Amino acid sequence: MIKSLEIKDYALIEHIRIEFFPGLNIITGETGAGKSILIDAMGLLLGERASSEVIRKGAAKSFVEGIFDVTDNQLVKNILSENEIEFQDELIIRREISQKGNNRCFVNDTPIPLNVIKELGDVLVDLHGQHEHQSLLRTETHIDFLDSYSNNHSLLNQYRTSYSLLKTKQAEYSDLLSKEKSVKEKKEVYQFQLKEIESVNPQLGEDETLISELNILENSEKLFQLSEEVYNLLYESENSVIEQIGDIESKINQLISIDNSLSDYESEIESAYVTLKELAASIRKYRDKINLNAEEIESKRERLNSVNLLKKKFGLSIEKLLEYKQKIQDEINLADNFEDELIKIQNKIFSLKSDLHKIAIELSNNRRKNSSKVENEVKAILKNLGINSPSFEVRFSSVHSDDFLELNGKKIGYDSKGIDSIEFYISTNPGEDLKPLVKVASGGEVSRIMLALKSALAKNDKLPLLIFDEIDSGISGRIAQKVGQALLDLSASHQIIAITHLPQIAAFAQHHFAVEKVQADERTTSQIKYLSEEERVIEVAKLLSGETVTESSLQSAKQLINSK
């Protein structure tokens, strides 16, 4: 739901901030007061195109900002995740329109392209009136509404999973077919390359190991000489370090015999003596293991040279060379078993199509079973809303697609939503032919049609906010009361914002706002106010009797409000 809407320097609006509430929010006001400006501003938050012409005279830019409560809204969470935007329970959408044409969009203070705003708008709000942001006026959404009504969520998930797997396998099959000639032509080249690589048989990290080993072997004489000198200095030579440490230890003991306070040094000199003896022994072992074998050095040089030549020829590191070896081995195996591989994928495609077929039939049957229920509910609600002889049909047709499933020996097209193409048809006058809903004239009648459809689908419709503009166009007071009741009923499952001129509808408001024009400093601005209970009565009385409010109109307003 929307929590607040802030608008600045937009058309006649200098600066307003409106806090909306759950339930039925009604907006009233005189013609031209600026109610339509609010709807236009809301349209910007839904991704509609912006023009610098809407910027208030004298301002450099205008902005519209909406704060939405999207707690547990998985659809919003998915869109934000796809665009690497952190999800929060409050979603802030902001549009800025500049005189310089530098228009910007933000979601949670993150700059984003307009199409992301549009995606979010499509899952947050349904706006009905003189605007194009009306989901039921887009044919492609009709099947979604029917699925929602039919509780097909689980079936659809199964279908889409199978559909996705099938598409992946079909792409794999097409890719394999396109590679057939290439794979077979390259087989000899790959076999030759594989033989070259296998003849050297490089091991991962072998070149680095050889370089390290050769560095030691090629310096073995120097290593032997140095380790010999170190060992002699420590142990073997006359006046060696070990011998000197012995002399020092003897003198320390003589000192201790005279002054016992030096006794701590006895253990330290003993420790030094042991450490140096161990060091001398380690150096001797290292010296004795040094390999002065010239043949081994040459062997390792030749091996490193072979590995480096192979790397240079293929232009690859050993790691990449081993990956390439596996790749060409797979290509050779594929060339040798091409027909078997094709048959294996074909069998998998056949199995996936069989699974998809079963789910698609169940999905289609469930849709057809529920379509008549939708038709009857919508017609009943339309009659209640003053369309006396409505006709409403959910029409099924085949999906136009190059992809098909076999059904009773007949090829049936399918897409990501199944084997059905669905469109709503309607007639609102006796004797008129049914026409596609998307071609019905806009205005109050289409808003009532939307209200009827939304009411029928309300329990499963996932859009949290519905906005109705001019829903009262061309209807009488008696029908207006029924429209108001329908809006109130619908507000139990959705947040509703409705603009109306009729007191019968305004009386049903749970939260009432009034828009008015104000003149100050030779400028006209539109302002909006949340009405108290007393102010509501006065506003409804104005709708009943005009600007002059009488005691009679006040009493009538109270009765209208209390009778809902």
- CB neighbourhood size of 467 (10 A): 26
Nearest to 317 by CA among 186, 203, 194: 203
| Per-residue b or e along 317-342, where b marks 16 or more CB atoms closer than 10 Å to that residue's CB | ebeebeebbeebeebbebbeebeebe
- Which residues are within 8 A (CB) of 308 and not within 5 positions of it... i.e. 6 or more apart? 207
Contact 269, 245 (CB under 8 A): yes
Domain with 53 in it: what CATH number? 3.40.50.300
Q: What is the β-pairing status of strands 61-69 and 90-98?
A: antiparallel
- CB neighbourhood size of 459 (10 A): 11
β-sheet bridge partners, residue 427: 391
Tokens for 38, please give them: 């609010």
The answer as to whether 450 is a domain residue is yes
The answer as to whether 517 is a domain residue is yes
Give the whole-angstrom CA distance, residue 16 versus residue 30.
Answer: 18
Shared-domain flag, residues 232 and 328: yes
Contact 121, 112 (CB under 8 A): no
pTM: 0.64
Q: Is 417 helix (H, G, I), strand (E, B) or coil?
A: coil
The answer as to whether 563 is a domain residue is no
Q: Which of 300, 333, 366 is a domain's end point?
A: 333
Residues of the chain with pLDDT under 50: 131
The answer as to whether 199 is a domain residue is no
Q: How far is CA 327 from CA 156, 188, 335, 344, 558, in A?
A: 38, 14, 12, 20, 82
Shared-domain flag, residues 215 and 319: yes
Predicted local distance difference test score (pLDDT) of residue 99: 87
The answer as to whether 540 is a domain residue is no
Give the whole-angstrom CA distance, residue 440 versus residue 427.
Answer: 9
Shared-domain flag, residues 380 and 428: yes
Shared-domain flag, residues 275 and 321: yes
Q: Which of 287, 310, 333 is a domain's end point?
A: 333
Predicted local distance difference test score (pLDDT) of residue 248: 86
Shared-domain flag, residues 112 and 43: yes
Q: Is 49 left (phi over 0), alpha (psi -120 to 50) or beta?
A: beta
Look-up of token digits 């040089």:
301
Shared-domain flag, residues 171 and 266: no
Contact 155, 414 (CB under 8 A): no
User: What is the CB-side half-sphere exposure of residue 501 using CA atoms within 13 A?
Assistant: 15
Shared-domain flag, residues 293 and 365: no
The answer as to whether 190 is a domain residue is no
Predicted local distance difference test score (pLDDT) of residue 179: 76
Shared-domain flag, residues 285 and 269: yes
- CB neighbourhood size of 482 (10 A): 19
Predicted local distance difference test score (pLDDT) of residue 134: 66
Nearest to 27 by CA among 557, 485, 494, 498: 498
Residue type, 187: K
Shared-domain flag, residues 322 and 402: no
Residue 319 structural domain: 206-333
Predicted local distance difference test score (pLDDT) of residue 443: 52
Q: Which of 385, 409, 441 is a domain's end point?
A: 441
Predicted local distance difference test score (pLDDT) of residue 408: 67
Tokens for 156, please give them: 């659809």
Element (H, E) at 19: strand 13-19
Nearest to 64 by CA among 126, 10, 128, 134: 10
The answer as to whether 99 is a domain residue is yes
Shared-domain flag, residues 6 and 101: yes
Give the whole-angstrom CA distance, residue 161 versus residue 356.
Answer: 9
Shared-domain flag, residues 1 and 126: yes
The answer as to whether 162 is a domain residue is yes
User: For the chain, how many residues are written?
Assistant: 564
Shared-domain flag, residues 159 and 217: no
Domain with 346 in it: what CATH number? 1.20.1050
Domain total of the chain = 3
